[in-house]
């Protein structure tokens, strides 16, 4: 089979790495890819948002299966477009991807079908939005409705912060059309877990749990980022909670989407808050998470292409999806200035040595005259498997120690929360 993977981050490198292990695959292309992906696939310089360009490439090369990494092409309807032209593609349709593309849509769906989530209101004008602050209480969370690359969520401690957030979204158009509506939510306390599942629109097969580290600095301090590291499994996510999440979140959501005429096929990702009143949904994504994919896929024993074909054909079953017991940890190495800006063009050293004992997934990198250079905020993710989280942490950081570029920075505490949770349990 010839496969086309769309995207250019650590998630896509992990996807290409896993797909390359499939016996069915003879050739992988990636658009646009990065320097690490280029070592195992042929990179094509077509942007992930260029639907027409991707379609004509897939037609020309007779691609057998296209796999979509990021959310933007999904919400633009790439799956519908490819299907109209008789091309096989893994991911949800435009209507189904709205579960990520519009937070108002996702919240209204959860309300209608009684899927556990924070109390909320949706507003198009600031006066009524501000009045709602009296009802929802403080702190609260103000979100732009549409896609904002993770930056459209503002946690507000007091009223003036909340009013400012509302004005930025609804009046100043800080997030463009993504801010035509804003969602205001009750603030939830607890630990976050990412649960991803494969679904063919009927059958749901969950992946293993993971936890992201969204803040830039240790101990969850500083600004939000795309994700500074992850581990899997999340020990606080017990078997009991899992049963609840499957029943109350995944089964209800997949059947709700079907009832709404938006059958969801692909990867459904639930960002969960484990509150003292049970697990609640913070958000849905319509795709693999990043960096979660960099710890989840190394734990997958099965052939990913078999699973993706079963999802598309509507015959997904549990037998197709087997996991390793080992734990996995991923540490993201970021550029100077990230997340506000990102230095680029720094020579990266030590990647080959690091790759001897760990998985090195490139994100913002490019090749230049024989050197691998930094080319974005998140540069590489270093993942390691271990018998438990502790040994996976040690292995990942030993490999991190081998890598250097100017002003490189990374969190030193990836996975520590899992160790604390284990101690509390044990």
Specify the residue, 273 or 320, whose C-beta has the smaller distance to ligand AMP: 273
- Measured from the CB of residue 290, what is the shortest distance to ligand GLY in angstroms? 5
- Using the contact rule CB under 6 A, the part of the chain among 73-81, 141-149, 282-290, 323-331 near ligand GLY is 282-290
- Using the contact rule CB under 6 A, the part of the chain among 33-41, 162-170, 288-296, 359-367 near ligand GLY is 288-296
Q: What does 64 bind: ligand AMP, ligand GLY, none (CB cut-off 5 to 8 Å by kind)?
A: none
Question: Looking at 48, 122, 188, 208, which residue binds ligand AMP (CB under 6 A)?
Answer: 188
Specify the residue, 25 or 119, whose C-beta has the smaller distance to ligand AMP: 119
Specify the residue, 228 or 351, whose C-beta has the smaller distance to ligand GLY: 228
- Does 283 sit near ligand AMP (CB under 6 A)? yes
- Does 31 sit near ligand AMP (CB under 6 A)? no
SS3 track for the chain: CEEEEEECCHHHHHHHHHHCCCCCCCEEEEEECCCCHHHCCEECCCCCCCHHHHHHHHHHCCCCEEEECCHHHHHCCHHHHHHHCCCCEECCCHHHHHHHHCHHHHHHHHHHCCCCECCEEEECCHHHHHHHHHHHCCCEEEEECCCCCCCCEEEECCHHHHHHHHHHHHHCCCCHHHHCCEEEEECCCCEEEEEEEEECCCCEEECCCEEECCEEEHHHEEEECCCCEEEECCCCCCHHHHHHHHHHHHHHHHHHHHHCCCCCCEEEEEEEEEECCEEEEEEEECCCCCCCHHHHHHHECCCHHHHHHHHHHCCCCHHHCCECCCEEEEEEEECCCCCCCCCCCCECECHHHHCCCCEEEECCEEEECCEEEECCCEEEEEEEEECCHHHHHHHHHHHHCCCECCCCECCCCCCHHHHHHHHHHC
- Does 192 sit near ligand GLY (CB under 6 A)? no
Specify the residue, 282 or 421, whose C-beta has the smaller distance to ligand AMP: 282
- Measured from the CB of residue 227, what is the shortest distance to ligand GLY in angstroms? 4
Specify the residue, 82 or 120, whose C-beta has the smaller distance to ligand AMP: 120
- Does 12 sit near ligand GLY (CB under 6 A)? no
- Does 212 sit near ligand GLY (CB under 6 A)? yes
Please identify the residue of the shown chain whose CB is closest to the bound ligand AMP.
283
The residues binding ligand GLY (CB under 6 A) are 212, 227, 285, 289-290, 292
Interacting residues with ligand AMP (CB under 6 A): 118, 141, 143, 153, 155, 185, 187-188, 192, 214, 271, 282-283
């Amino acid at each position: 089979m010839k496969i086309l993977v769309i995207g250019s981050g650590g998630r896509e490198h992990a996807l290409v790495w896993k797909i390359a292990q499939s016996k069915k695959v003879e050739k992988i292309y990636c658009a646009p890819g990065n320097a690490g992906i280029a070592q195992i696939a042929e990179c094509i310089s077509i942007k992930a948002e260029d639907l027409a360009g991707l379609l004509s490439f897939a037609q020309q090369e007779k691609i057998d299966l296209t796999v979509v990494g990021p959310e933007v092409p999904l919400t633009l309807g790439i799956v519908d477009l490819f299907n109209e032209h008789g091309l096989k593609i893994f991911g949800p349709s435009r209507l189904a991807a709205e579960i990520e593309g519009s937070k108002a849509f996702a919240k209204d769906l959860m309300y209608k079908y009684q899927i556990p989530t924070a109390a909320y209101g949706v507003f198009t004008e600031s006066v009524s939005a501000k009045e709602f602050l009296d009802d929802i209480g403080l702190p609260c969370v103000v979100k732009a409705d549409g896609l904002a690359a993770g930056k459209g969520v503002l946690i507000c401690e007091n009223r003036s912060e909340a009013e400012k957030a509302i004005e930025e979204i609804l009046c100043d158009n800080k997030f463009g059309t993504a801010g035509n509506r804003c969602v205001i939510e009750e603030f939830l306390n607890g630990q976050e877990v990412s649960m991803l599942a494969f679904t063919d629109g009927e059958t749901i097969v969950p992946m293993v749990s993971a936890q992201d580290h969204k803040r830039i600095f240790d101990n969850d301090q500083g600004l939000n980022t795309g994700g500074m590291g992850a581990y899997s499994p999340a020990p606080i996510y017990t078997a009991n909670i899992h049963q609840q999440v499957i029943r109350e979140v995944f089964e209800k959501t997949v059947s709700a989407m079907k009832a709404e005429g938006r059958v969801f096929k692909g990867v459904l990702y639930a960002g969960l808050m484990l509150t003292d009143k049970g697990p609640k949904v913070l958000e849905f994504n319509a795709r693999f998470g990043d960096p979660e994919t960099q710890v989840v896929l190394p734990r997958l024993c099965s052939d990913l292409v078999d699973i993706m074909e079963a999802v598309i054909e509507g015959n997904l079953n549990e037998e197709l999806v087997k996991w390793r017991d080992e734990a996995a940890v991923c540490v993201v190495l970021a550029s100077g200035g990230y997340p506000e800006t990102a230095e680029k063009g720094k020579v990266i050293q030590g990647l080959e040595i690091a790759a001897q004992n760990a998985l090195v997934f490139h994100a913002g990198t490019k090749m230049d005259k024989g050197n691998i250079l930094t080319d974005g905020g998140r540069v590489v993710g270093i993942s390691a498997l271990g018998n438990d989280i502790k040994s996976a942490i040690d292995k990942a950081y030993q490999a991190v120690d081998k890598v250097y570029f100017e002003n490189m920075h990374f969190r030193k505490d990836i996975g520590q929360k899992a160790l604390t949770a284990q101690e509390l349990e044990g």
